Amino acid sequence: MHSSRKQLNRLGNLQKLYNTRIIVSEARYLEMKRKRDESAQNLREREATISGLKQERTDLFRYLEKPQIAETPYRVERMHARRYWLEYDLEKDEYYMAMDRQDLEEAESNLLQARHEWMRARKHQDLVDQQYASKLRDVSRSNDRRETEE
């Protein structure tokens, strides 16, 4: 009887431990999910910026093809300078987009790992809960038998 109560206490302590692990792993999972969502948003914003720059570059090329533009050297110079900076910005954003993709892949990997840890903690908690309930039933039956014998 005494060992059964010890086992119940140990199982109760395990329940508390796994409950804490669930709370911690769930918080980590939610943080990883937030980071993944943030990375995905950053990538979408970068893609929109690149799309806008490409459109602006296309519009600039069309504008430069117009014959009246060639009439003023100052205007041509300004348009070529603008084209240079568009190309620079486009190249820079494409470089950072590759980094954003890597960040997203890493965030998704971390999210999967955090989810796995959370599910594992929940599974362990369920097993300990079942063991605790089973042991509690055994102790209760043992107490009932002892009372009927007395």
CB distance 77 to 41 below 8 Å: no
CA distance 134 to 117: 26
pTM: 0.74
Among 25, 34, 42, residue whose Cα is nearest residue 102: 42
Residues across the chain: 150
DSSP state of 66: S
Among 41, 43, 36, residue whose Cα is nearest residue 108: 36
What pLDDT is recorded for position 137? Answer: 85
**Pick from 1-10, 55-64, 107-116: least confident:** 1-10
Confidence grade of residue 2 (pLDDT, cut at 50, 70, 90): low
CA distances (Å), 93 to each of 49, 78, 87, 89, 97, in order? 8, 22, 10, 6, 6
User: What is the mean pLDDT of the segment spanning 8-16?
Assistant: 86
Higher pLDDT, 77 or 30: 30
Kindly state the tokens that stand for 102.
């890597």
Q: Which residue has the tokens 């009927």?
A: 148
How many CA within 13 A on the CB side of residue 148? Answer: 6
Amino acid letter for position 62: R
Higher pLDDT, 75 or 86: 86
What pLDDT is recorded for position 69? Answer: 64
pLDDT of residue 70 exceeding 70, the answer is: no
What pLDDT is recorded for position 132? Answer: 86
Second CATH level (architecture) for the domain 2-149: Orthogonal Bundle (1.10)
Domain assignments of the chain as residue spans, ordered by start: 2-149
What pLDDT is recorded for position 67? Answer: 74
Question: pLDDT for 93-145, tens place per residue?
Answer: 999 999 999 999 999 999 999 999 999 999 999 998 898 888 888 877 777 77
Q: What is the mean pLDDT of the chain?
A: 89
Report the number of secondary-structure helices (H) and strands (E) in the chain: 2, 0
**Most confident listed range (64-68, 79-83, 90-94):** 90-94
Kindly state the tokens that stand for 104.
């997203």
